[in-house]
A and B are shown apart, each in its own frame.
Chain A
Amino acid sequence: MSTAAKLRYGVVVFPGTNCDTDTWHALHDVMEAPVDYIWHEDTDLDGFDCVILPGGFSYGDYLRTGAVARFSPVMNCVVDFAGKGGLVLGICNGFQILLEAGLLPGAMMRNVGQTFVCKYVNLRVESTDTPYTRAMARGAVLRIPIAHGEGNYHADETTLSELKRNDQIVFRYCTPEGEIAPEANPNGSLDNIAGICNRERNVMGMMPHPERCTDALLGSSDGRLVWESLLGAS
């Protein structure tokens, strides 16, 4: 196991992934953490502590977003890795792939407004009991951008109850004041859900892009808090 300060990150690259270099850059250049790319055909995740499935349009989002990527060779390893407690973070398309792979419950659908949306949103931190959010304050409002056409999270009633009961909802879209309101929901997502984790809390998926606001030059550095939370993980 790595020391608390130096988790080793792996960024998975599928054909069509396009936020891999952004994620790598945020970790390597801004957070100065050890990070490598993992080609989707690689089947060896030895030595990695945290595997990230970044954003993009894996396989062109054909059929359904994430539907084809989940069958890539690397995904069997990711499932095993997660099963053994390894840290797995899915961002945007990555979140979609985790849902298709069954590592997180629910499904993602097309934005209710029918168009792709790219803009900064406000997120309320709902749970700080995850390796990805422990450096945040419960109820804090973060400014992190979204960029997606299919961020409309759906789950049936049973699943939603479970998510609530087990503190698995990690982020919700909110107003700048922290209110969970319909006008703050950019895509129709159930219960304004923007990010969730699994029951074991080692796998998280979020639609917004923390790697896009790690460097303050780009407008916000709230994304850093995700990496800073992980820095404390071991």
Chain B
Amino acid sequence: MGMEPRMWRELGLSDDEFQRVVDTIGREPTPTELAMFSVEWSEHCGYPRSRTLLALFPKTGKYASRVQGEDAGGIEVAPGLTVLFKMESHNHPSQVEPFQGAATGVGGIIRDIFTMGARPIAVLNPLRFGDLDEPLARYLLRGVVNGISFYGNCLGVPTIGGELQFEEPYKGNCLVNVMAIGVVETDKIATSRAVGEDNPVIVVGNSTGRDGIGGASILASHEFGEDEEKRPTVQIGDPFTEKCLIEACLEALETGAIVGMKDMGAAGLTCTTCEMSAAGEHGMDIDLRKVPRREADMEPWEMMMSESQERMLIVAEKDREQEVLGIFAKWGLNAVVVGRVTTDGVLRVRDDGEVVAEVDAAALASPPVYQLPAEEPGYYRKNQAVDFADLPVPEDMTAVLRELLASPSIASARWVYEQYDHMVQTNTVVAPGGDAAVLQIKDYRQGIAVTTDGNGRYCYLDPYLGAQLVLAEAARNLVCVGAEPAGVTDCLNFGNPEKPDRFWQFKRCVEGLADACRDFGLPVVSGNVSFYNETPDTAVYPTPVLGVLGVLQDVRRHCTAGFKRADDVVLLIGDTREDLGGTEYLKRMHKRVEGRPPALDLDFEKKVQGVCLEAVREGLAASAHDCSDGGLAVALAESCIFGNIGARIALGDHASDVRLDARLFGESPSRIILSVRRENADRVKDMASRAKVPIAVLGEVGGDQLVIEADGGRQIATKVAEMEKIWREAIPLLMQQ
């Protein structure tokens, strides 16, 4: 078949890229080769448009990190013990088919973990949709939660956290990010290098079908017509097979007969074969006819592009195939030798013996890198000048508090996480619903804490600062449970990078994040970029989502966010300023999304976090909870709700020069509410003053109401039971419609 421009263009390759392919291989590509280049060099496989900026992220920190070129990275949490983690997106598939989109998202990220020899121990799901008042958002939320539940529960991997945010810009492009964590002995981490001449190349798992091929019909050697419908545009997940795959792969790795292993995600066979070869500086010769297929008449280019789920590629030691194949047979899984490793660095693909593709693996695995133009958009500067002098201060602060507690982005997410098995594997020490989840690692004193965070509004208003605020908040959440932040994974969700204003948002977010991570000493061990999250009408808010992992030296020394006992003293470390820009309060009560996000002083943030961590480690904190969405009043309300007990608060001198609504609901960062036994209060005050961190006594725990006095009056008075009801019922009531 001669190559025509419409062929490569329909596959997503530009004319320049096509020319580059021709230059790379010295001739025009075969149809199969064209398909392979088109997927390997696509944005979601090759990261051509983001790679340069992603190189800004730091890769080292206090805890030894492993980040080099594998599917996931991680940190050593104890000598010889590594925790691997990674976050990925499945945004577009979930908007199309929320159940399967989310389910296969879980499947994919988990494969990235066990392909490295780690047992998957947890999943977290930050989710973002349009306003929950709208049927579409409810439909998507229901489908996505069902999908995650369906897949994760069946796998026996607990879903221990995540977030829910509802903002209009996500309406046509939901964000479904999935993070997975695994544990492995450092010296047993498996790699994905194909090495060793004649070593067998083995395909294991589900058979290959036409999943995910979608718009590549241009290559069909026959007309499709009504057959077009037979191509599933959505991948279908099979968690039972994946569960068996987890067990079989981990068992097979124990034999020592496996040289390299890689999971087939985006670009399936193409990605695994060329990347394993390139990583190992070897080549492969495979015959597609040997690969188990769902439909008999699949063509070579379809086999190479297929995104059928639950498949892995394994390179084993020559003469030890049987050991490996036997284990997969025991678990009822396909396992077939489809080729051999070669030494010429060439990826040779055959169809029943006949060569249909022959390319240098390293060249295929090296997509072009693009520097895209970035241009600060007009709205940014205008927004920086916005102030709130004309913003009226509400009369009834109790009503405002109730309204915020009912906001779906703040309200209880129990409706969601009770559909997830969050206890399987019996490691969950602090369950979902708090600042961060805490997991024990059996046989170790250490534990890990993990949280995900993102704030699209802040990042839209000020990408650089917004991204830093997100990192600061995630780290703050971790110290509240008693963990020291240790490593970061990121999922960067943005619009179309070819638009200079969107690319500017991306660039500034990455720069902000890189600087903040460096400042905190946190390596970014892994991550994912999702571009093109936009419709003709809107783009999503630029939304970098972070998964941050922390280490507890002694998992039993952890802390939770609810007040514990009457007469405990309520302390606030940190400072409150007039920080109304981009807040939930401003959006919900005044219908405005504008202004500068709260200013952040990284040094001050670190000091505040240090005091909290010390207090928790010394066993002095009865509770610890940071102020974030909804500010101080919401954080106090949450601590009352979680603890099922009231508090009598008087703001007194604290930030007395700040307008009342900002004092109560503004979102100044670097603030943590601690409650401590009365006899311990002085010790905690000393810790704060040694660190030169302001600390205020706000009041005491007790009673059945939350009462907040300020400016000479009782500004908030409401029964805990009432607040709890509003907070608990907000999402279920909406979902019942």
Contact = CB atoms under 8 A, between A and B. Distances in A.
A217 B429 contact: yes
Nearest to A23: B426
Interface residues of B, number: 31
B243 A18 contact: yes
A62 B238 CA distance: 11
Contacts of B64: none
A182 interface: no
* Most central of A25, A55, A118, A219 by chain B CB within 10 Å: A118
B231 to A, nearest CB: 25
Interface string B324-365: 000000011000000000000000000000000000000000
Given A18-B155, A60-B240, A217-B556, A115 B423 contact: no
Interface string A141-185: 000010101000000000000000000000000000000000000
A57 B423 contact: no
A56 B156 contact: yes
Given A21-B425, A25-B426, A218-B429, A119 B156 contact: no
Interface in B633-690: none
A55 B241 CA distance: 17
Contacts of B440: 217
Interface stretch (A78-86, A129-137, A207-215): A207-215
A57 B240 contact: yes
A15 B240 contact: yes
Contacts of A116: 149, 153, 419-421
Interface of B: 146, 149, 153-156, 238-241, 243-244, 331-332, 417-426, 428-429, 431, 440, 442, 555-556
A16 interface: yes
Contacts of A56: 156
Nearest to B240: A60
Contacts of A25: 426, 442
A36 B277 CA distance: 41
A117 interface: yes
A26 interface: yes
B68 to A, nearest CB: 30
Contacts of A26: 426
Given A22-B425, A57-B154, A60-B243, 5 more contacts: A15-B240, A16-B243, A25-B426, A217-B440, A217-B555
B153 A117 contact: no
B556 A15 contact: no
A19 interface: yes
B421 A147 contact: yes
A35 to B, nearest CB: 15
Q: Please give me the 6 A-B residue pairs with the lowest Cβ-Cβ distance, nearest first.
A: A18-B156, A60-B240, A147-B421, A57-B154, A22-B426, A118-B421
A60 B240 CA distance: 5
A145 B419 contact: no
Q: Is the interface of B mostly helix, strand, loop or mixed?
A: loop
* Most central of A15, A117, A119 by chain B CB within 10 Å: A15
A64 B498 CA distance: 50
A16 B244 contact: yes
Contact of B423 (A16, A29, A212): A212
Q: Is the interface of A mostly helix, strand, loop or mixed?
A: mixed
B132 to A, nearest CB: 17
Nearest to B146: A115
A116 B415 CA distance: 11
A19 B442 contact: no
Contacts of B146: 115
Contacts of B421: 116, 118, 147
Contacts of B420: 116, 118
A145 B420 CA distance: 13
Contact of A118 (B155, B419, B555): B419
Given A16-B154, A29-B442, A59 B424 contact: no
Nearest to A115: B419
A87 to B, nearest CB: 22
A61 interface: yes
Contacts of B423: 118, 145, 147, 209, 212, 218
Interface string A112-125: 00011111000000
Contacts of B425: 21-22
Contact of B422 (A16, A61, A62, A118): A118
A215 B239 CA distance: 29
* Most central of B243, B417, B555 by chain A CB within 10 Å: B243
Given A15-B331, A57-B154, A215 B240 contact: no
B253 to A, nearest CB: 17
